[in-house]
Chain A
Amino acid sequence: MTQPQQATTGPDATSGPVAAASAVVELALTACQAYGRPDLGSRLSVARRRLAEPGIHLVVAGEFKKGKSSLVNALVGAPACPVDDDIATAVPTYVRYGTQAGANLVLDGEPPRREPISVSEARKHVVEQRAADRSPSGGAAVAGVEILLPRTMLAGGLVVVDTPGLGGLASAHAAATLAAISMADAVLFVTDASQELTRSELDFLTRARELCPIVTCALTKTDFYPSWRTIRDLDTDHLRRLGVEISVLPVSSTLRSRAVQHNDKDLNAESGFKDLVRFVTDTVAGRGRTQVAVEAANEVRAVCQQLTDQFAAERSALVDPARAQQVVDDLTATKRRTDELKSAAARWNQTLADGIGDLSADIEHDLRARIRQVITEADELIEAADPADTWSEIEPWLESRVSHDLIANYTVLRDRSADLSHLVAEHFRAASGEVLGTFAVYNPVSLLARSRVETTISLEKMTARKQTMVALKGSYSGILMFTMLPSLLGVTGLAPIAIPVGLLMGRNSLREEKRRQLTARQAQAKNAVRRYCDEIQFVMGKDSRDTLRRIQRQLRDHYAARAEELGASLGQAMQSASEAVKRTNAERDKRLRDVDAELARLRRLAQAAAEVGG
Chain B
Amino acid sequence: MTSLLDRTRATFVRAAAVYRGTPYARMLDETAARLDEPLRVAIAGRVKSGKSTLLNALVGERLAPTDAGECTRIVTWYLDGHTYQVMLHPRQGPPMPARFSREADALEVDLGGLSPQDVSELMITWPSRALRTATLIDTPGIGSLSERVSQRAWDLLASDDEETPADAVLYLMRHLHVGDVEFLRAFHDTEVSRPNPINAIGVLSRADEIGVGRADTMRSAHTIAERLAGDEVVRRVVQTVVPVAGLLAETAMTLTEDEVGQLRRIAGRSAAEVEGLLLSVDRFVNSMPELGLTSLERERLLARFGVFGIRQCSMLLRRTVAGTASELARELAAISGLDDLRSVLRSLFYERRDVLKSRSALLALDSILRSQPRQGSQAVAAEVEEIISSAHPFNELRVLSAIRSGGIQGKSEVIAELEHLIGGAGTSAALRLRLAPDAAAAEITEAAAAALLRWQRRAENPLTRHELSTAARVAIRSCEGILAAGHARR
- Within 8 Å of chain B (Cβ to Cβ): is A104? no
> Does A228 lie within 8 Å of B281, measured CB to CB?
yes
Contact A223 B280 (CB under 8 A): yes
A503 close to B402 (CB less than 8 A):
yes
In the complex, B420 has a CB within 8 A of chain A: no
B395 beta carbon closer than 8 Å to chain A: yes
Judged by DSSP, the binding face of B is helix
Q: Which segment of B13-21, B204-212, B438-446 sits at the interface?
A: B204-212
- Whether B194 and A386, one on each chain, are in contact in the complex, defined by CB atoms closer than 8 angstroms, is yes
**Contact between B223 and A86 (Cβ–Cβ < 8 Å)?**
yes
Q: Does B236 belong to the interface (CB within 8 Å)?
A: yes
Partner of A392, one of B68, B177, B232: B232
Q: A219-236 vs B: 1/0 string, CB under 8 Å?
A: 001111111101100100
Distance in angstroms between the alpha carbons of A202 and B145 in the assembled complex: 9
Interface size class of B (residues with CB under 8 A): 35 or more
- Residues facing A in B209-229 (CB within 8 A) are 209-213, 217, 220, 223-224, 227
Given A501-B402, A511-B385, are A194 and B48 neighbors across the interface (CB < 8 Å)? yes
Q: Are B386 and A507 in contact (CB under 8 A)?
A: yes
Interface residues as binary, A503-530 with B (CB distance below 8 Å gives 1, 0 otherwise): 1111100110000000000000000000
Do residues B178 and A221 form an inter-chain contact, with CB atoms below 8 A? Answer: no
Across the two chains, which residue of chain A brings its CB closest to B233? A392
Contacts of A390 in B (CB 8 A): 185
A258: chain B residues at CB < 8 Å are 279
Taking the closest CB of chain A, its distance from the CB of B174, in whole angstroms, is 8
Query: Is B61 among interface residues, defined by CB-CB distance under 8 A?
Result: no
On whether the beta carbons of A196 and B69 are closer than 8 Å, the reply is yes
Q: Is A490 an interface residue (CB 8 A)?
A: no
Cβ of A238 within 8 Å of any chain B Cβ, yes or no, is: yes
Q: Does A155 contact B (CB under 8 A)?
A: no
* Chain A window 248-275, contacts with chain B (Cβ cutoff 8 Å), 1 for yes, 0 for no: 0000101100100000000100100000
A343 within 8 A of B: no
In the complex, the answer to whether A199 meets B470 with C-beta atoms within 8 Å is no
Using CB atoms, name the residue of chain A closest to B224.
Answer: A86
Chain B residues with Cβ below 8 Å from A238 are 145
Among candidates A86, A200, A226, A396, residue contacting B302 with C-beta atoms closer than 8 Å: A226
**Residues of B with C-beta under 8 A to A202:** 145
**A78 interface residue (CB < 8 Å to B):** no
B391-428 interface bits toward A, Cβ cutoff 8 Å, 1 = contact, 0 = none: 00001001100100111100000000000000000000
CA distance A386 to B213 in the complex (A): 42
B190 touches A386 (CB 8 A): yes
Closest to A271 in B: B280
Contact with A along B215-259 (1 / 0, CB 8 A): 001001001100100001100100000000000000000000000
Q: Which of under 10, 10 to 19, 20 to 34, or 35 or more describes the interface residues of A?
A: 35 or more
Inter-chain contact B68/A224, CB cutoff 8 Å? no
Alpha-carbon distance A400/B188, docked complex (angstroms): 24
* A111: interface (CB < 8 Å): no
Selected contact of B471 from candidates A252, A393, A503, CB within 8 Å? A503
In the assembled complex, the Cα of A223 lies from the Cα of B306 at a distance in Å of 11
Whole-angstrom CA separation of A196 from B144 in the bound complex: 10
Contact call B467/A396, Cβ cutoff below 8 A: no
- In the complex, are the beta carbons of B145 and A85 less than 8 A apart? no
Interface presence of B23 (CB below 8 A): no
Q: Which residue of the partner chain A has the closest CB to B473?
A: A505
**Which one of A194, A224, A267 lies within 8 Å of B307 (CB-CB)?**
A224
Is B290 in contact with chain A by the CB < 8 A criterion? no
Q: B407 touching A502 by the CB < 8 A rule?
A: yes
Give B280's nearest chain A residue, CB to CB.
A223
B224:A85 contact, CB within 8 angstroms: yes
A227: nearest residue on chain B (CB-CB)? B68
Instruction: Output the nearest chain B residue to A252 by Cβ-Cβ distance.
Output: B280
Q: Which residues of A contact B343 (CB under 8 A)?
A: none
Judge whether B172 is part of the interface by a CB distance below 8 angstroms.
Answer: no
Q: Which of B137-183 touch A at CB < 8 Å?
A: 143-145, 175, 177-179, 181-182
Q: Does A404 contact B (CB under 8 A)?
A: no
Do residues B385 and A510 form an inter-chain contact, with CB atoms below 8 A?
yes
Rounded to whole Å, the gap between the CB of A77 and the closest CB of chain B is 19
Which residues of A sit under 8 angstroms from B188, Cβ to Cβ?
389
**Chain B 441-480 interface mask (CB, 8 Å, partner A; 1/0):** 0000000000000000000000000110011011000000
Per-residue 0/1 for A380-411: is the Cβ within 8 Å of any B Cβ (1 yes, 0 no)?
00000110111011001000100000000000
Give chain B nearest CB distance to A545 CB in angstroms. 33
A65 at the interface (CB under 8 A from B): yes
Contact residues of A between 30 and 88, Cβ < 8 Å to B: 64-65, 85-86
| Given known contacts A196-B145, A385-B190, A86 and B227 CB-to-CB distance under 8 angstroms | yes
CB closest residue in chain A, given B407:
A501
Residue of A168, A254, A388, A503 near B408 (CB, 8 A) is: A503
Q: List, sorted by A's number, 18 A–B pairs whose CB atoms are closer than 8 Å.
A: A85-B210, A86-B227, A167-B177, A167-B178, A168-B177, A168-B179, A199-B143, A199-B145, A224-B213, A226-B302, A226-B303, A234-B68, A255-B280, A270-B283, A503-B471, A505-B398, A505-B473, A505-B474
Given contacts A65-B175, A86-B223, A196-B70, 7 further A-B contacts (CB under 8 A): A85-B210, A197-B145, A198-B145, A226-B302, A502-B407, A503-B399, A506-B390
* Shortest beta-carbon contacts, A-B, top 6: A223-B280, A227-B68, A195-B48, A501-B407, A85-B220, A507-B389
List chain B positions with a Cβ less than 8 A from chain A.
46-48, 68-70, 143-145, 175, 177-179, 181-182, 185, 188, 190, 194-195, 206, 209-213, 217, 220, 223-224, 227, 232-233, 236, 279-283, 285, 299, 302-303, 306-307, 385-386, 389-390, 395, 398-399, 402, 405-408, 466-467, 470-471, 473-474
